[in-house]
Chain A
Amino acid sequence: MRNFFNLVKIQFLSYFGINKLLHSKKRRINMGISGLIFVGLLFAAALIWFGYTYSEMFADALVYYGNIIDIIPIMLSISGLVCFFFAFYSTSNVLYGFKDYEMLSAMPIKTHTVVLAKLFYMYVADLIFMALISLPSLFVYVQKGGEADLGIVMRTTFLILSLPAFSLSLAVIIGSLVALISARFRRKNIIQIILLIIFFIGIFALSFLSGYGEYVDIGGSIGKIYFIYPLVVSAVSRTGMTAIVFFGCAAIVSAVTFAVCKGYKSMNTMLLSKRTIGKFRMKNYSVQSQGKCLFKKETGRLFSVAMYAVNALFGSLMSIVTAIVLAVVFSRIEEGKEVFAVIAVFLPCIFTFMHILAPTTSCSISLEGKCIWLLKTSPVDLNKLFAAKLGVNAVFNAIPALISSLIITIFLSLSAVHGTLLILIAVFAALLGGNIGLLFDLRFPTLKWDNEVKPVKQGVALLLTMLCAFVLTIAFFLIVYYVKLSTVALFGILAGITVTLTAVTFVLVFTEGKKLFSKISG
């Protein structure tokens, strides 16, 4: 057990450079601890706010249909689904192919202890996320007149503890299969990304193409994507002991079974082993401009790690899927366009959130890692380097933003002004995300890492960028909610804010960003 806890401790100390902050004697870094705690608290507050607002959004409809109790399983399932996705695409990086594997396997530590420590680490991260998102629903349930007995509180608490374990186990098993298939190919990263995207699109396509009635059943929709939703409903709203036992057992059994699975070692070896072919034939290689070769390098880096690609493309995919779903659903519903007009005012909030949340740039400097010396010692033009990094974000974030806002504009017959403003907001939000991500990553780069998980998922820059996405979304939401103007006027204000912020941050990248880059030492 001592080994297990030591391994877990080591992993958590690497989170956001906590250990560095704890052990540094420098005043500037010590001040960073307070800053980090503050940002962490802000982020937690933003998640709680998100959980609360989301619950509130559904609550009135549920009260109307007399099943307010469903708000708890809905939020539990949504956060469980998010946990599943995060665990799913980080499986191959966190659980397999970690760079300290050789060192650990040479020590007198059992393999299943190492694996369990990794799983536990993923579980705690998911648990915190689930608690922050789901607990506000309990509050909303009571607020809307739900009966607050101890049983519901206890069952909800139990589910908050067990659901991340279930989601994690499920994700690890499926993620392992994806990793196993992709390991058989030379370009395993590309195969892994393709499989992940197919899986992601498949789930959403299946759920949304199965048809809608006039009343959009929220729980039913979630149930189509996440099959355990009915069990969660049963566990929360009734004394569904079967479901509770099922969750508890399934979570523990699948985690432990997996950890002690004999195939782990051979599978990990397969994922780690790389072979050279040695059949190269020289040909003539033409000269490329520095800007073009840097852009190619950045694009290659994006697809070199499945987790990075999926993380960065998640917002774009969600945006396009949301646009298609809205277009399909509201064009099918009678008087759908009129209904849509009521909710259309919130579209800037949705697009802003999706496209700023995880831009490709928020870890692009950090991912240089130990290779940063190449950029520092070569005659690389920083303007071209930054342009390449922002260019990749523009291609994979701003273009999807353009596509999704165009889909909405065309299929839901927005007016020319209305549509143009929506497109402006979406595209510039994506560009703004790129600028913000790059600036934060230049200021807080995570260059020392053994696994891409650290810069891609635990980087300070990513955390701050996500916080900006939350803050801007909340600000837009408040403007839309409280400022009583026409939709076009509101869109005009939001477009003005987005374009201005994009311009300011763009200038900052090419002025302050250069200074920040010169201060980075490898």
Chain B
Amino acid sequence: MLEIKNFTKTYGGSVKAVDNLSLTVKDGEIYGFIGHNGAGKSTTIKAVVGALGFESGEIYINGISIKERPMECKKITAYIPDNPDIYEHLTGIQFLNFISDVFGVPTEKRNLKIKEYSEMFEIKDNLGDLISSYSHGMKQKLVIISALVHEPKLLVLDEPFVGLDPIATHKLKGIMRDICDAGGAIFFSTHVLEVAEKLCDRVGIIKKGKLVAEGTMQEVIGDKSLESTFLEIENA
């Protein structure tokens, strides 16, 4: 589903934020992308979702190059950023309809999905309110719903659990698994290593822009915890 080949991103012509990174996320797989602040996680994620250009390497989504055919890639991808910065002057339902229109979601499907997910995340009653009146968690839930409403094949998430209450976190984890069971794929970054350890099929650890460990959870951590493995790598 997602293939990153020799991806390099340089800022200001000299500082390499990500250096020759390659990884693959297969269909039906949840891939956890781990690293400390400034390691290059968000840069990689932004390049995957087409928000950031890059000099060398290739990124393919479902076999399509994000560089060559970005629109086709974006149609099957959904992105949930670490901060739910969305149009605060719109109401929740206006925002969801805007996203549905952009992705060309038909009437029946959008009505069904909006109802289903807004009830699941318990914000249905607030969809008529201005987003500016929402709490951080409510905005995060709205972004999640907007990402799910067009049934993406690839879901890319940057720190998705920040600001969510425990019930919403649990539901999101369930949705992530459902997407993978339906043949989709998840690529997400997190600092919550316990969640990553339980949720991910595969994991990649990035340090100073380079992928230093990658594989199935078992391959990466062996008989240790993900936390101790991560700390060992960071202190090496």
Q: Interface of A with B (CB < 8 Å)?
A: 26, 186, 189, 274-282, 284-290, 292-294, 296-297, 300-301, 304-305, 369-371, 373-374, 376-381, 518-519, 521-522
* Known contacts A282-B111, A300-B89, A376-B51; is-contact A274 B133 (Cβ 8 Å): yes
A377 touches B126 (CB 8 A): no
A189 and B86 contacting across the interface, CB-CB below 8 Å: no
CA–CA, A278 to B83, complex, Å? 23
A381 partner residues in chain B, CB cutoff 8 A: 71
Partner of B115, one of A274, A282, A300, A379: A282
Q: Are the C-beta atoms of A373 and B110 separated by less than 8 Å?
A: no
Q: Out of B12, B75, B85, B111, which one reaches A284, CB within 8 Å?
A: B111
Q: Which of B77, B83, B100 contacts A370 (CB 8 A)?
A: B83
Chain B residues closer than 8 Å to A519, beta-carbon distance: 53
A378 and B134 within 8 A (CB) = no
A-side contacts of B111, CB under 8 Å: 282, 284-285
Is B93 interfacial (CB-CB < 8 Å)? yes
The interface on chain B, measured as residues whose beta carbon lies within 8 A of the other chain's beta carbons, has a size of 48
Query: With A282-B124, A301-B89, A369-B85 known to touch, is A377 a contact of B105 (CB < 8 Å)?
Result: no
Q: Which residues of A contact B107 (CB under 8 A)?
A: 284-287
Contact A518 B53 (CB under 8 A): yes
Q: List 12 A-B contacts (CB under 8 A).
A: A276-B133, A278-B126, A279-B128, A280-B93, A282-B111, A290-B101, A292-B101, A301-B89, A374-B87, A374-B99, A378-B74, A521-B46
Contact between chains at B125 and A280 (CB < 8 Å): yes
- The list of the 9 closest CB pairs from A to B, nearest first, reads A304-B89, A280-B128, A370-B85, A293-B101, A274-B133, A376-B51, A379-B74, A278-B125, A276-B129
Docked CA distance A9–B105 (Å): 49
**Complex formed: what's the CA distance from A36 to B100 in Å?**
41
Q: Is the CB of A373 within 8 A of B87?
A: no
A282-B127, A381-B71, A521-B51 given. 15 additional CB < 8 A pairs? Answer: A276-B129, A276-B134, A278-B126, A279-B128, A280-B125, A285-B93, A290-B102, A296-B98, A297-B87, A300-B87, A371-B86, A371-B87, A378-B99, A379-B102, A380-B102
| B46, B94, B102 — most chain A CB neighbours (10 Å) | B102
Q: Are A285 and B87 in contact (CB under 8 A)?
A: no
Residue of A nearest to B106 (CB): A287
Instruction: Give Cα distance in the complex from A381 to B71, angstroms.
Output: 8
A36 to B31, CA, bound (A): 46
Tell me the bound Cα distance from A373 to B111 in angstroms. Answer: 25
Instruction: Say whether B52 faces chain A, with CB atoms less than 8 Å apart.
Output: yes
A514 to chain B, nearest CB (A): 12
Residue of B nearest to A521 (CB): B52
Q: Tell me if A379 and B75 are in contact (CB < 8 A).
A: yes
- Interface residue from A274, A287, A289, A296 paired with B132 (Cβ < 8 Å): A274
Q: Which B residues are in CB contact (< 8 Å) with A26?
A: 12
B109-124 to A contact mask, C-beta < 8 Å, 1/0: 0110011000000001
Q: Which residues of A lie under 8 Å from residue B127 when comparing CB positions?
A: 280, 282
